[in-house]
A and B are shown apart, each in its own frame.
Chain A
Amino acid sequence: MEKEFLEIVRANQGIIHKVCNIYCDDEEDRNDLFQEILAQLWKSYPSFRKESKFTTWMYRVALNTAITSFKKVRRFSGFTRLSGESLLVADDPPSAETEENLMLLKQAVARLSGIEKSIILLFLENKSYEEIAEITGITQNYVRVKMNRIKKKLRILMTSEE
């Protein structure tokens, strides 16, 4: 089971990186959250019944861990601001337009609540409303309601940043 777990996590570790990047600003916190998510995945893996897709299950465990992370609350009592480095992990810098869009997105996302961050992350990852509902535990209708609100909120935040 250990080998199977390591293989499947190695292949899908991008999910953990994305979750850590959207929730943590500091490199040390990202590493810490990464370990916490890994530990939770390992602990939960025996109960993964393959009723849902592995990636859906992985997002669920990772987001649950990030939102309920104790260390994050202890270190940052308010919302966390994402620095310019937190989402930029590539060697090849993006174009000026992409970078500008990205900066706006990052600044706006940093102002969202934990749940809003998880929903927008899943939306940006092209997850269906059904999958988002399965991951967050709310119904699809309310995911739609929430998504519309987040879109409006992001538009306002990004317009004010421009």
Chain B
Amino acid sequence: MDLNDLQKAWNKLTDKSSGQRMLSEEEILSMLGRRTTTLLDRLDRNVRIGFLVLLAVVVTLLGGELLPLAGIFPGETLAGEIPGWLQRLDLGVSLLIVALFITFFVHYRKIRNICRQGCDLRHTLLKIIGVLTLYRRLFTFALAIILLESATGFTAGFFTSIHQNNTLEGFFIPTLGMGLLLILLLSGFLFFMLRWAFRKVYGNYLHQLRATLAELDELEEQGE
């Protein structure tokens, strides 16, 4: 059967159906009233909420670094009880988190600017894949903050405790190691839980979008 015959059949069918199911302006308006956001809008909103939460965490961390305890509570100084290397590590972790946050934000701005509205399929795919990937990485980033801050906080607290009362002196290394291991295990569990949940909800979708993009790219590459 020739494709031209199919085209004729298609035209006949669409001609016949042209008078069918035509919605009035009121019906279209009513439909629009029921849904005004798209998937990308919803994802974008979630990413922005994520950024706000992380920004709050980053500001809190920076506040902790810039406003030492002694400044708020005179007489309460722990700095001398925590080893210098640990203080530097804590500062490094906070700076790393701030740098990561800025990197994420710049990346997000780039993705948002891929195309504004009504762009072609290729750019639409790139944008949705970019937003979804960023969304997933934000979870990992949040987890990294928890892990790094918990580990440094725990270690600092441990040293302070030892300095104030020497009750843990004999158990120093095993207790510290056990504490860090617990944090690591908890973070590992959270990481795999988040990854599993993301894959469950968006895994197939992301895979399909990438496959579609690969199909488009394959065509472009063949011509180069």
Give chain B's interface secondary structure class.
Answer: helix
- Which residue on chain A has the smallest CB distance to residue B221? A142
Q: Across the interface, which residues of B come within 8 angstroms of A26, CB to CB?
A: none
Total interface residues in chain A, CB < 8 Å: 69
Question: How many contacts between A and B, using CB within 8 angstroms?
Answer: 159
User: Which residue of A9, A39, A141, A162 contacts B37 across the interface (Cβ within 8 Å)?
Assistant: A39
- Which residue on chain A has the smallest CB distance to residue B6? A105
Is the beta-carbon distance between A90 and B13 smaller than 8 angstroms?
yes
Is the beta-carbon distance between B121 and A135 smaller than 8 angstroms?
yes
Q: Across the interface, which residues of B come within 8 angstroms of A88, CB to CB?
A: 13
CB distance from B128 to the nearest CB of A (A): 6
Decide yes or no whether A28 CB sits under 8 A from chain B: no
- Chain B, interface residues (CB within 8 Å), range: 35 or more
Stretch at the interface among B20-28, B99-107, B170-178: B20-28
Of residues 64 through 87 on chain B, the ones whose CB sits less than 8 Å from some CB of chain A are none
**Which residues of B are in contact with A by a Cβ distance under 8 Å?**
1, 3, 5-7, 9-14, 16-18, 20-25, 28-29, 31-32, 34-39, 41, 116-125, 128, 204-205, 208-209, 212, 215-216, 219-220, 222-223
Of residues 56 through 83 on chain A, the ones whose CB sits less than 8 Å from some CB of chain B are 57, 60-61, 63-65, 67-70, 73-74, 77
**Which residues of A are in contact with B by a Cβ distance under 8 Å?**
2, 6-7, 9-10, 13-14, 17-18, 34-36, 38-40, 42-44, 46-48, 57, 60-61, 63-65, 67-70, 73-74, 77, 87-92, 94, 98, 101-102, 104-105, 113-115, 118, 123-126, 134-139, 141-142, 145-146, 151, 154-155, 158, 162
